[in-house]
Amino acid sequence: MTNINKISDIINEGLINPTIDLTVDYAELALDSFLDNDAIKEVPIVKTIVGLVKGGMKISEIFFAKKLLTFLKEFHNGNFDNQKLQHFKNEFQTNLKYRNKVIENLMIMIERFVDVRKAKIYGNLFNAHAHQLISWDDFVVLSVILDEMNIKSIEALNFLGDQLPTRYLIHNPILTLPMTLLLNSGLVVWLHKNDHIAATLYGVCMHKYGIQGDFSKPFGELSKIAPVEHTLSTSNRWRVK
């Protein structure tokens, strides 16, 4: 990986100033486009990250650039109130401790993702945090869950979110492979006594904010949609509302 300080500077600048072409779907670009496409090669982020080494180009650096561009596009394409966006930028630029936390998380998570689609979801989740829909701690939790999710479980979460009239709840579920993988993510629970699968609040947030990019409701309001709540009673079990 290129010098850490340079990566930090790129992320710092990329969050504050959208210097990339936001009309390009970077997630769909083939890796060789970063070498053969003159317009892509001249993007400052790409020129900085993609370094030449003996024997040719590092694939890991090209892929990191692709994921970072995908993340930044999602972040800057968020349709939000300018006042909230400016509040985030002010905090990011003046609070060194906060800025370091943000950049560190972004560098680590973007490098870890093995599928570029996760970088897109991650960009949406960061949008939700930057615009005060979720706290920093909740963003970190969702980031870790996203990193550990199997990509096939995303389609299962979409299916669960589309259920009507009881959203995010399936009675008498058929345990397909994607649904089993989703259960392993911790975003849903299987309540054997009631024989159904239901989303937790984090599951609803991952679907609404991360996958759908729907920022119409704050975190607190999503708790009204989530069919499962965690009770701190002596039994300490999940229950359906």
Q: How do residues 131-158 score in pLDDT, each as one tens digit?
A: 899 999 999 999 999 999 999 998 889 8
**pTM exceeds 0.75:** yes
Dihedral sign, Cα of residue 58, residue 60, residue 65, residue 69: positive
In 3D, which of 204, 206, 93 has the Cα closest to residue 147? 206
The region of weakest confidence among 38-47, 145-154, 222-231 is 222-231
Calpha distance 30→44 (Å, rounded): 18
Calpha distance 154→178 (Å, rounded): 8
Q: Give pLDDT tens digits for 163-219.
A: 654 678 888 778 888 888 998 888 998 876 667 888 888 999 999 999 999 998 888
Whether the Cβ atoms of residue 7 and residue 49 lie closer than 8 Å to each other: yes
